[in-house]
Amino acid sequence: MTLKRAEFDRIVTKLNLRVRQSGDLPVYFEYEDKMIVRSRRSNKQGDLPMPHAIRQQFKLDEDQFRDLLNCPLDYDGYVAILREKGLLG
Protein backbone atom coordinates (compact mmCIF):
# COMPACT_ATOMS: atom_id res chain seq x y z
CA MET A 1 0.00 0.00 0.00
CA THR A 2 1.30 3.43 -0.89
CA LEU A 3 0.18 6.74 0.53
CA LYS A 4 0.32 9.89 -1.50
CA ARG A 5 0.74 13.36 -0.03
CA ALA A 6 -2.70 14.41 -1.32
CA GLU A 7 -4.30 11.40 0.40
CA PHE A 8 -2.66 12.34 3.70
CA ASP A 9 -3.83 15.93 3.26
CA ARG A 10 -7.37 14.67 2.62
CA ILE A 11 -7.22 12.74 5.92
CA VAL A 12 -6.11 15.93 7.69
CA THR A 13 -9.16 17.76 6.35
CA LYS A 14 -11.62 14.90 6.86
CA LEU A 15 -10.64 14.34 10.52
CA ASN A 16 -10.25 18.06 11.24
CA LEU A 17 -6.68 17.53 12.45
CA ARG A 18 -4.79 20.40 13.98
CA VAL A 19 -1.75 21.30 11.87
CA ARG A 20 1.44 23.02 12.92
CA GLN A 21 3.63 24.46 10.18
CA SER A 22 7.22 23.51 10.93
CA GLY A 23 9.64 21.36 8.93
CA ASP A 24 7.70 18.20 8.26
CA LEU A 25 3.97 18.74 8.69
CA PRO A 26 2.99 17.59 12.21
CA VAL A 27 -0.73 16.90 12.69
CA TYR A 28 -2.77 16.17 15.80
CA PHE A 29 -6.18 14.66 16.43
CA GLU A 30 -7.73 16.28 19.47
CA TYR A 31 -10.93 15.27 21.17
CA GLU A 32 -12.42 17.29 24.00
CA ASP A 33 -9.22 19.37 24.21
CA LYS A 34 -6.99 16.28 24.62
CA MET A 35 -4.43 15.16 22.06
CA ILE A 36 -5.32 11.59 21.12
CA VAL A 37 -3.30 10.90 17.96
CA ARG A 38 -0.35 12.56 16.32
CA SER A 39 1.41 11.97 13.05
CA ARG A 40 3.39 13.91 10.49
CA ARG A 41 3.81 14.20 6.77
CA SER A 42 7.22 14.50 5.19
CA ASN A 43 7.75 17.49 2.93
CA LYS A 44 9.75 15.37 0.47
CA GLN A 45 8.36 14.79 -3.00
CA GLY A 46 6.61 11.58 -4.00
CA ASP A 47 4.77 8.92 -2.04
CA LEU A 48 5.06 8.98 1.72
CA PRO A 49 7.36 6.40 3.26
CA MET A 50 6.06 3.81 5.70
CA PRO A 51 2.29 4.09 5.24
CA HIS A 52 1.93 1.22 7.74
CA ALA A 53 3.51 3.43 10.43
CA ILE A 54 1.11 6.26 9.61
CA ARG A 55 -1.79 3.79 9.79
CA GLN A 56 -0.61 2.64 13.22
CA GLN A 57 -0.25 6.22 14.43
CA PHE A 58 -3.91 6.74 13.56
CA LYS A 59 -4.73 3.56 15.57
CA LEU A 60 -6.44 1.87 12.62
CA ASP A 61 -6.21 -1.61 11.14
CA GLU A 62 -5.63 -2.01 7.40
CA ASP A 63 -9.32 -2.19 6.46
CA GLN A 64 -10.19 0.85 8.58
CA PHE A 65 -7.31 2.84 7.09
CA ARG A 66 -8.38 1.86 3.58
CA ASP A 67 -11.90 3.06 4.44
CA LEU A 68 -10.45 6.34 5.70
CA LEU A 69 -8.59 6.83 2.41
CA ASN A 70 -11.54 5.79 0.23
CA CYS A 71 -14.07 7.96 2.10
CA PRO A 72 -16.54 5.54 3.78
CA LEU A 73 -14.92 6.37 7.16
CA ASP A 74 -15.68 9.89 8.31
CA TYR A 75 -14.96 11.89 11.47
CA ASP A 76 -17.83 10.36 13.46
CA GLY A 77 -16.83 6.85 12.41
CA TYR A 78 -13.23 7.53 13.42
CA VAL A 79 -14.35 8.80 16.83
CA ALA A 80 -16.44 5.62 17.25
CA ILE A 81 -13.40 3.44 16.44
CA LEU A 82 -11.22 5.31 18.94
CA ARG A 83 -13.95 5.07 21.58
CA GLU A 84 -14.31 1.33 20.93
CA LYS A 85 -10.56 0.90 21.42
CA GLY A 86 -10.78 2.74 24.75
CA LEU A 87 -8.77 5.75 23.59
CA LEU A 88 -11.55 8.27 24.29
CA GLY A 89 -13.33 8.93 27.55
Domain count, the chain: 1
- Residue 69, SS3? helix
Query: Domain span at residue 53?
Result: 5-84
pLDDT tens digits along 25-50? 889 999 999 999 998 887 777 667 67
DSSP 66: H
On whether the CB atoms of residues 26 and 40 are closer than 8 A, the answer is: yes
73 domain residue, yes or no: yes
Does 64 fall in a domain?
yes
Max distance between CA atoms of the chain, in angstroms, equals: 38
Task: Classify 68 as helix, strand or coil.
Answer: helix
Whether residue 89 lies inside any domain: the answer is: no
Q: How far apart are CA 62 and CA 11, in angstroms?
A: 15
pLDDT in tens, 45-78: 766 767 888 899 999 999 999 999 898 999 999 9
